[in-house]
Structure formats: structure tokens, C-alpha cells
Structure 1
């Protein structure tokens, strides 16, 4: 699909991105030396899933949404899919916060629904206690009936969070280390994600373990086969490189375009010949196409059920019908065609097959080493809390 020119200045890839691209250009594609295996039980056992939730999703920094979901000061959006009622806000100074969506008076939910709203004041629907989007308790009716109440101690409960690289991260635990998020943010800044705008957002319910969804984005063996009718013809077969940023995987896949003579230090030129992908722990995926970015956040609900929220970010709001049509076709291609009908469908079919017990372990070929490394990272996180 032909890219639409944008007015944004040229950007330079980070050294890490450039190293992966040069490895592909020099024919240094990543491949494992031998076949390996992953036990099927890590996808099918509810007990294993419970351990993952406690060790990973309840302890590690994780992405909630792109910054573009709250583009202006004085905005708020509820978020429930992590298993706790959250409220993401952007205060009057432009700073992002993550609070529990709970009034400090009687525990009532403050903001209903799931859409972003312009709401500089958050008013409890029960007794009208009123908070600012920075979490402060501003006012309450009949303050005389609460003698001795110190409003300064009754603000919303805030959770650790960080906004970097056009993404909002949070952690359920105090003392969170967001240094890896900051390092990844350098790549995402190079992609211009902090200046992108939100074009579409959709939540998919996938009847599969969250790791089966991640697996599809950790190897290129399937690209020209599963995606034969969509994006497969744009890519070379199994030409890939990758590295790690802390526990997170960063990979690059070679496209069919010729790399010789391309200035790889020019981000726009680089994205025409190499597609990067970021597979983050806990489950999140960043997929930059040549002229837009998909952010997918995985929120496991059970060992065999995962919510995946897909956000499509574009460089600027569509100014013409032609531009809007281009982005609509891009959205339909990836969200509906590639992700929903191919990657998510493959994960569901895999869950169905593994649940029979017929395959005790998954066999990984030399082009699927990213899956093995991902599962090793999960195991390391589980051992760290035992």
C-alpha cells in the first residue's frame, strides 16, 4: 500500500535499530543452532497462568495506552481490563497520571464507560465529592459534616506510572523501575510516536492464552505463509535480526525492497525496507509500518482468554478524503485482516489443539528462537518471586 507523504521532519533511528537493520543488509539473519521445545502446559494450565499473573502482571511495569489517547490537558479515560478499576488522566500541566477509579469517600466508581472524556473535574455520582484530574480532592458537599477532615490527605490513590516515547506505562507495585521503558522510549521517539495522533482503537476478545498471541510476533517463519493473502508478499522469508532491551524483545524483518544504496540513517527510508517489531513483557506489541504504528496491549482474563486492544497511530489528522481513505484501508488491512483474521485466529486454533493434550510440547525450528527466548524470560520472572 503506497505511503502518504507527511510534513514531519526527517528522524534518525537509534543505534540499536540501526544495528539490526545493518545486520539484515549484511545477511546476518538471526537463526538458532538447533531445534528446541516449549511445554504445552504453559498455555493450558490455569495454575501456571495464575503464577504469571502474580509474578508478571502484578509486579512489572506495563503499557496501558498510547499518549495519543489523551491528547489534551484535562482529559480522563477509565481502564478496567487489568483487573482493577483504573483512571488515566492528563492534568492541566499536561502530565499523565494513573489513579484507582475510586472515590475516597465511599469507594464509588468516579468515571463510567471506556472512552476518553474532556473532564477537568471528576465528580462522584453518589455524593458529589469533586476531584481534579491531578488527583486532588477539591470540594465536598456539607464539609461541616466531616469535622477534622484534611482534604490534602483524601486525594485519589495514584499508582506508579511513566509516560515515555508516546506511551503511558503503569505498575501495580510501588518502587517500580521504569528504566527499560525509558530506553525503549528512545526508539519510539525516533519513530515519532509522541507526536502521532490516534486514528482507530478496537478491543478484540481472543479465545487463546496471551503467550500464543505473543508467539506469532516473535518469529518470521509464518509471515509468508499465514499472511500469504495480506502482507506476506511484502516480506523476505525468514530474513530477521533481533536483540533484547532488558526483558523486552526488539526485532527487525527484511522487506522485499532492495536495501543496497538506501540511507539507513534516515528513518523514513529505513522503514520502507525494514519492519521493526517490539514484543514487550508483559504482553504488548509495537508494530511500526512504513507510515503508521500499531500498538497492541494484551490483557489476559484467563488462561484461555485474552483481551487485545489495538491502537492505530498516524502522523497527523487526515486532511483530505484521500488521506482518510488511505488510513481506513491500512486499518482494515492490519487490524481486521492480518491481526484478527490471521494472527489471532491462529492463536485460537492453537489453543484448541493444545487443550486436547495431543501435543505435549511445541517444537521450535531454527527460525523460531525468539519464542524460546520469550518463554525463558517468563520463567525468569516466575523464579524471581519464588
Structure 2
């Protein structure tokens, strides 16, 4: 899909608001109970009503760049199999053979799989989930292969992202977000690197870090703070999701906001996809972070770095490696995730009963209100 040359109306509205120098602030100090981060019963309720019910991002389209590819995915605590079939259609299946329930694909590396063969009895499936063959078919009299298609979960590919759900869904929010991601040409991006972080933190503490700019000049003082103006950020909502923008607002008044490359050079958009996905749209690449809660104090985060096209020279590879190490190991891994783990350690001590949110942390307030509505 070609990259749009203009931002969406919503992106343009945020850029204009950011150029005004007036942040979208709250009006008062609020609090969140510490127990929402530490209570096992609370986590169980979130898993049942959010993660087992709502549509979620599982991976970028770029994870499966070619037809007839497959990769196992276990991050959500269930055996899943992502494929792209010979027609280019993405699927999310249970990674379970229809014969005796054996796991089909092991490991987490993407591979060419025109045929997916069960390691136990060699039942063989195509990447669209169809049972293609089985040894000694004479020993299964009356078996109809059409009745033994791999079990598929509800899923959709939209805007360069693959979504799935445990329950039937119309994926309305995924469709609503797609024009924003099409504006970045996300579906045509190349996956440069991916890595899973094991963070000793409640998933909401990690989301909190990407819902406010108050920490940027402090936590990121040695990495990216110089690129941003303290306290100037703007945000709005797209359905149940949040969209925000930060940047070099002193330059915004000097450029044509409708000129997309100029606008992206001075502004960073971020998307907080409910319940637990973060996207950071830097001027020349994209970081996608998929949060996969394991328990109330542990979260796996898969970080994907997406670039406009595959690097062609050693210099280009070196350029992107530096960006990857700055963000994945430095800003995210060494600062944001570390801060979340330190926060979990403090809250789990029981020494304070609530956290305090100032007027520059409005996004966190909105996020926790949305969690409460979903639980209710």
C-alpha cells in the first residue's frame, strides 16, 4: 500500500494543537490505588475481561513479509500460530494438530512453511489451515479432511497490524485506526529487529510510561530529552484508544503541516492501543511494543522496530542498528521498563496506598478509567 502524502485530519489537528504550545492538561491532581498493580485477584479479573475478551494486536504485518510463512506465538499464555497463506492472507490459528492435539510448530522464528507438518504423525496442513495430507488415510475410514481444518481464532489484518481475539469481534476499532497507520505506510514497512523483554512489572505500569510526557526530561535526560519540549504534549482518543503527539513545537509554526515528511521530521506521534499495545512513530521509523501480561508482577514486551524499507548497504544497516540500540536497549529497556520494575518493587512493598497523578499525566487517568469501565 503506498504511503499517503498527507496526514489524516486527526493527526493534523493534533499537530496544530501542539504548535499552539498549549498542552492538553488535566485540571486537578488525582490518584490510583496501588492495589490495581499488585492484587492477584485484580489481575485475574483483567485477564478474564480484557485479555480474554477484547481484540488485541499480536504482531505487525511485517513479521510475515512473504506468502507461505508461519511463526509460533506463546506470549499470551496460549499456543498460537501466525501464518500468511499462498494468497497473502494472514491467519491466527491454534498451534494444535487436529489429530491428537500435538503442538505443530516450535520456537519463535519465522520460517517459510508451504506445508506445516505435525512432528508426531505427520498430518500436514497448508498455510491457510487446510488439512492437505495424512499418512495411511486408509486407517481413517470416512474421515473428511475438510472437517479437520486448523482451528482459527477471530483475526484481522488492517493498517499494517495483525489483530486477534479470543471471542467473536467485528474489529471495529482496528478498522477505525487503520487510516492513521496507512498514513505512515506501515503495511509496507520492513521488520528490522524484534526482541522480547521480560519485565518484572505489572502491565499497567509499562502502559503508564507511554501515556505522559512528564518523565521525559528526567528519566530520558541522557538519551532523547533534548528532542522534546518539557511539558508540551497533546492527546486525543480514537474509540477506546489514545493518540498523542510531542515534538519540536518551535519548528511547527515554520512548516506546512499538510506536508507529511516535514511534519514527521519535527513531531513524534504515539498510539496507546487498549488494552496493552504501544506504537511510537519516530520521524523515520516505528517502534511497536506488544505487552503480554504473565501475572500481576510480570509482563513480556515484544518490541518490533519497523523501517520504511530493507537496508541496502552496510552504512544503512549501521544507521538502523544505532537507532535500535538507542531505543530498545536504552530508552525502553534501560529506562522505561526499568522504571516500571522499580515502581512495581515499591508498590509491592505496601508502603503507599495510592499513586498520585499531576495535570501532565492526564493520559494515565483516562487509561485507568477505561480499564475500570471494561472491568465493570
After TM superposition, the score normalised by the length of structure 1 is 0.96
Alignment of 1:8-157 (within 5 A): 11-157=5-151
Q: SS at the partner of 2:194?
A: strand
Q: Distance in 1 between matches of 2:265 and 2:357?
A: 29
Q: Distance in 1 between matches of 2:150 and 2:248?
A: 48
Asked whether the equivalents of residues 234 and 256 of structure 1 are also in contact (C-alpha less than 8 Å), the reply is no
Q: Distance in 1 between matches of 2:303 and 2:5?
A: 25
2:302 is equivalent to residue 309 of structure 1: yes
Asked whether the equivalents of residues 10 and 266 of structure 1 are also in contact (C-alpha less than 8 Å), the reply is no
Q: Distance in 2 between matches of 1:269 and 1:160?
A: 38
5+ residue gaps, structure 2, are none
Asked whether the equivalents of residues 21 and 249 of structure 2 are also in contact (C-alpha less than 8 Å), the reply is no
Q: Distance in 2 between matches of 1:182 and 1:294?
A: 20
Which residue is 1:3 aligned to?
Answer: none
After TM superposition, the score normalised by the length of structure 2 is 0.98
Q: Structure 1 pair 382/10, CA: closer, same or farther in 2 (3 Å)? A: closer
Alignment of 1:180-195 (within 5 A): 180-195=173-188
Q: Distance in 1 between matches of 2:139 and 2:86?
A: 30
5+ residue gaps, structure 1, are 1-7
Asked whether the equivalents of residues 18 and 265 of structure 1 are also in contact (C-alpha less than 8 Å), the reply is yes
Asked whether the equivalents of residues 243 and 249 of structure 1 are also in contact (C-alpha less than 8 Å), the reply is yes
Alignment of 1:186-225 (within 5 A): 186-225=179-218
Q: Distance in 1 between matches of 2:150 and 2:250?
A: 52
1:357: Cα distance to partner?
Answer: 1.1
Aligned length: 375
1:160: Cα distance to partner?
Answer: 0.5
How far does the alpha carbon of each residue in 1:194-234 deviate from its partner, in whole angstroms, 9 at most, with x for none?
A: 11000000000000000000000000000111000000111
Q: Distance in 1 between matches of 2:182 and 2:100?
A: 41
Asked whether the equivalents of residues 257 and 272 of structure 1 are also in contact (C-alpha less than 8 Å), the reply is no
- Which shows bigger deviation, 240-249 or 298-307? 240-249
1:9: Cα distance to partner?
Answer: 6.1
Asked whether the equivalents of residues 73 and 91 of structure 1 are also in contact (C-alpha less than 8 Å), the reply is yes
1:257: Cα distance to partner?
Answer: 5.2
How far does the alpha carbon of each residue in 1:83-114 deviate from its partner, in whole angstroms, 9 at most, with x for none?
A: 11000000000000000000000000111111
Q: SS at the partner of 1:333?
A: helix
Asked whether the equivalents of residues 11 and 191 of structure 1 are also in contact (C-alpha less than 8 Å), the reply is no
1:12: Cα distance to partner?
Answer: 1.2
CA RMSD, Structure 1 to Structure 2 (Å)? 1.1
1:261: Cα distance to partner?
Answer: 2.0
1:10: Cα distance to partner?
Answer: 6.2
